[in-house]
Amino acid sequence: MPQDEKQYLVGKTLVELQDFCATIDEPRYRAYQLFYWLYTKQVAVFADMTNISKKLRSRLTEEAGIHVLEEVTRTESETGETRKVLFRTGDNQQVEAVLMKEGSRITVCLSTQVGCKLDCQFCATAEMGFARNLTVAEILNQFLLLQKISPERITNVVFMGMGEPFLNYPRVIGAAELINHQEGINLGARKITISTAGIVPQIRRFGSERQRFKLAISLNASDQATREKIMPIARQYPLPELLNSVREYYDITRNRPTFEYVLMAGINDSQEDAVRLVKLIGGLPCKVNLIPYNEIGGRYRRPTDEKIEVFLELLYNAPFTVTVRRSKGIGINAGCGQLAVSRN
């Protein structure tokens, strides 16, 4: 097989591996072996696939590949609990992913696009512009390489890194399905969260397909004017339309969505904002995750701790559960909204 037609196996489904086996005149059962080695054992080289003949292993080493990403740099927070990894793709694009440890919970935050076109005003990724969607292989490869770094098994996956997952819908769902596959990585669907800035047609699709993965919506404002100011996508999908789609999603799946709310000083952290938030989503079975803003050197600021407490107290009697995510990777720019790759 010529070099430019070299096939990389990570990210392939069982059926795609069967097709691959057909192209190299190998029996179908070989695909099950490859699937096992790729996702259950998570080997990085064909030489480690010990129940495959030596002859085939060397042929595969020559004619095919496994991983499509290469690690460029790794940054660790002071406590060592958060690690941010920069990866290079085959076409020399760069993406970041984060590995976080909180007690027994090991979470990875994966990127889904190179850059992002949504231009949320508080986000470092937005400043990069948009280059392209990541493939299933590139998304899954982030998971596998982070698992290699982590001494413990990854327990949670969030699609909240660079990019808008729902603008790369089929590939994100494809990667999530492989992470969830019982005969492979086997991470429960409810441990996998897909977060969107509010792409209404895809929220509807996610609901109508009865996807079992968790849905998070990056809300960040309780009124249309503020939301439009910080998230231009709100002009295309206004709040009532967004909330209707989330309600439809809940009605079909009975899964409570999570609303992410990045608290920014003087933008959306007032007492009125808190009261309005309860009114806006109080009728919807949901959870709210408050994320005090991680400053990236731009115009937005993190509210003071007192201000955060007041906001939180006003949500105390709300009919939804509220959690506060105090990002752990701020010092290494691995906190929420801080992922960005500088173009040299």
Q: Which residues bind ligand SF4 (CB under 6 A)?
A: 116, 118-120, 123, 125-126, 162-164, 197, 337
Angle at 115 (CA atoms; ends 109, 118), nearest 5 degrees? 100
C-beta of 89 vs 338, nearer to ligand SF4: 338
CB of 31 or CB of 233, closer to ligand SF4: 233
Q: 110: closest CA among 77, 145, 79?
A: 145
What element of type H or E holds 29? helix 29-35
Q: Shortest gap between Cβ of 227 and ligand SF4 (angstroms)?
A: 12
Task: Name the minimum Å distance from CB 187 to ligand SF4.
Answer: 23
Of the pair 60, 108, the CB lying nearest ligand SF4 is at 108
3-state secondary structure of 202: helix
Phi first, then psi: what are they for 335, rounded to 5°?
A: -75, 175
Considering the complex, state which of residue 119 and residue 177 has its C-beta at the smaller distance from ligand SF4: 119
User: How far apart are CB 316 and ligand SF4 at their closest, in Å?
Assistant: 28
322 φ/ψ angles, rounded to the nearest 5 degrees: -120, 130
State the nearest-atom distance from the C-beta of 336 to ligand SF4, in Å: 8
Catalytic residue among 26, 96, 138, 260: 96
Residues 141, 143, 145, 148, Cα dihedral to 10°: -140
From the CB of 113, what's the least distance to ligand SF4, in Å?
8
Separation of alpha carbons 344 and 336, rounded Å: 23
Q: Looking at this protein, which amino acid is placed at residue 11?
A: G
Q: Is 21 a catalytic residue?
A: no
| Given 21, 109, 286, 336, the catalytic residue | 336
The string of DSSP codes covering 232-281 is THHHHS-HHHHHHHHHHHHHHH-PPPEEEEEE-TTTT-SHHHHHHHHHHH
Question: Which residue's CB is nearer to ligand SF4, number 265 or number 275?
Answer: 265
Burial 286-298 (b: 16+ CB within 10 A, else e): bbbbbbbbbbbee
62 among known catalytic residues = no
Question: Which residues are marked as active site?
Answer: 96, 336
